[in-house]
Chain A
Amino acid sequence: NAGVMQNPRHLVRRRGQEARLRCSPMKGHSHVYWYRQLPEEGLKFMVYLQKENIIDESGMPKERFSAEFPKEGPSILRIQQVVRGDSAAYFCASSPSPGSPLSTDTQYFGPGTRLTVL
């Protein structure tokens, strides 16, 4: 069973460009979480999505950041007009639907995308 997949693993953008980060959850998982890890810090929650729904985006910056999890395909975290302060590692995690027979109340993390803004 493949784990959570993220691509690209490394992404370099110039200030003002757009960054698109992709996350494919584990098979059988319908919930996706995005976290950001700034240098020398712990992970900070950004957004929680299920298919076609944003459940909680309380950790998302108000501007330039958006996330989606369409019915088909991976979850996308989009950062418009990137700035140097967006340089970080972005981690995706997935879990089964709460209350499902598969539910383990545990998030499984992908390897992350390291975004560098020049």
Chain B
Amino acid sequence: AQSVTQPDIHITVSEGASLELRCNYSYGATPYLFWYVQSPGQGLQLLLKYFSGDTLVQGIKGFEAEFKRSQSSFNLRKPSVHWSDAAEYFCAVGKDTGFQKLVFGTGTRLLVSP
């Protein structure tokens, strides 16, 4: 069965500093991987996704993620964090194109300090 682990429940980063949020997945075949962001009281917004091809994926708002099959990881990065990036970030895995029964991690809450 698919599973996703986000080992960091909370992370605090200073504004302007770099950010890396960890995501490890468990899945037997090539996974379909997503990062979503959830602002307080809001729905989920897709940041980026990986299906195949280049393992470094660019997303919106300056985010990128790197798929590393050998480590079963799909970590999210941003070189310089802005205060508006404070939110909850979810990594998710799906098993195929089309119908995606997404399995989500428990999320990482990002706090940005001045």
Contact = CB atoms under 8 A, between A and B. Distances in A.
Interface of A: 4, 6, 31, 33, 35, 40-45, 48, 55-56, 58-59, 91, 93, 95, 98-99, 103, 105-112
A42 B101 contact: no
In the A-B complex, the 3 residue pairs with the smallest Cβ-Cβ separation, listed nearest first, are A98-B98, A42-B104, A109-B44
A68 B71 CA distance: 40
B43 A109 contact: yes
A56 B99 contact: yes
Contacts of A95: 100
Contact of A105 (B43, B97, B103, B105): B97
Which residue among A43, A99, A111 has the maximum number of chain B CB atoms within 10 Å of its CB?
Answer: A43
Contacts of B90: 42-43
B51 interface: yes
